[in-house]
Amino acid sequence: MSQITNLRYSITLNDAQLDYLSDEQQDILRMKCLKTFIRMAVLEETKVSGKNYSAVLQPGQFKASKVELARLWGCDRKTATRIVQEFNQIGILRSESSNRTTIHALICLSVWFTPWGMKKSSFFNSKPVVKPLVKPSRTTKRVPPETAIETDKSDCANTANPGGTQ
């Protein structure tokens, strides 16, 4: 399918999903990932096949391996895997893996608006299950470090004069 110009999308997100996507403190921008998913999703029924598998993608689905996503995002496979898992947890994406490929469905995308009319996604879920994410937090270094031991001045006086006499 050739690239369609003037394509618009109807996407529904709740506050938790929007907060997740707008978090700029992460290594990979989540909005960039969402944009990748939206652009990969097919608009019409599409047959895909590879070594020992074939599938028919419905509007709103796409096929993508973690290796392919890692290449697109400029990260390693472990990071791509984590991002896909987070998108599934937060209720934006639903992924189904087989021993040959992974097929994803965007559940936050309800409609495409094309020059020829509106195309609905059968995977849209207006009330997705959103599981809380526990994201790693980055700590900033403190000066002095929190591990520094604060000494008592009376202890210093006792070590300077061990006998305690003046």
Report pLDDT for 6.
84
Q: Is residue 112 part of a domain?
A: yes
Q: Is residue 2 part of a domain?
A: no
Report pLDDT for 39.
93
Q: Is the peptide bond before 162 cis (omega within 30 degrees of 0)?
A: no
Whether 114 contacts 4, CB under 8 Å: yes
For tokens 């990071």, the residue is: 79
Q: Is residue 165 part of a domain?
A: no
CATH of the domain at 88: 1.10.10.10
Report pLDDT for 1.
44
Report pLDDT for 163.
57
Report pLDDT for 157.
55
The tokens of 48 are what? Answer: 């895909």
The number of domains in the chain is 1
The tokens of 46 are what? Answer: 């599409």
Report pLDDT for 149.
57
Q: Is residue 80 part of a domain?
A: yes
Q: Which long-range contacts (CB under 8 A, 24 or more apart) does 13-22 make?
A: 13/92, 13/108, 14/91, 14/128, 14/130, 16/90, 16/130, 16/132, 17/90, 17/91, 17/92, 17/108, 17/128, 17/130, 20/86, 20/90, 20/133, 21/92
Number of neighbouring beta carbons within 10 Å of residue 13: 17
Residue 138 has φ and ψ, to the nearest 5°, of -95, 130
Domain enclosing residue 53, as ranges: 8-160
Q: Is residue 110 part of a domain?
A: yes
pTM equals 0.74
Q: Is residue 3 part of a domain?
A: no
Averaged in consecutive runs of 10 residues, what is the pLDDT profile of the chain (166 residues)?
76 92 87 94 91 89 94 95 94 89 93 92 83 64 61 55 55
